[in-house]
Amino acid sequence: MSHRRNSILASFFVPALLVFAAGSARATASFDCTIEDKNVTIELQGNLGSGDGAALQIPNGSIKIKPVRGKLDTVEFDVAKGTLAQQWTFDKELRIGLMTDEVKDVSAYLVIIAQQGKPKDDLTQWKGRYVLKIQGPKGATELKGTIKSCQAG
């Protein structure tokens, strides 16, 4: 009798769980972030899940560091799968940490910290700042700037 009761309960709960699981599935949006200022040109493309704690994937992009007088010539890094060291999306906050491979004895760590603004044309937008820490043969350099728009949609 206990086995039959478990079987009956399972016949009610399993379909209910499947409905709840299907209802909680969320879409993935394309992610695009371009930063252009006197220090850098950064282009990041990928995918971003929806909701708090959503996963961010950045399979391609580039970071081009412009010359820093006395410290660094122009250096360009490819952003590849696996360079994303940290990512965080919670409420209206987006945080990204990228570590580059070494190029010409130079490596960089990019941090993006942004807040979500009002959606525009069905796109979620973030504005904030970046910090780029560079380690090269002539020592460490830190560059900072503003992010005008990273977006997902």
Residue pLDDT, tens place only, 6-24: 444 344 444 433 333 333 3
Q: Is residue 49 included in any domain, yes or no?
A: yes
The identity of residue 63, as a single letter, is: I
What are the pLDDT digits (tens) for 72-125?
889 999 998 777 788 888 888 999 999 999 998 999 999 999 999 888 888 889
Q: Is residue 102 included in any domain, yes or no?
A: yes
Decide: helix, strand or coil at residue 26: coil
Domain count, the chain: 1
Q: Is residue 9 included in any domain, yes or no?
A: no
Range(s) of the domain holding residue 138: 26-152
| Residue 75 in tokens | 């250096």
Q: Is residue 5 included in any domain, yes or no?
A: no
- On the CB side of 60, how many CA atoms lie within 13 Å of its CA? 1
| Nearest-angstrom CA–CA distance, 92 and 94 | 7
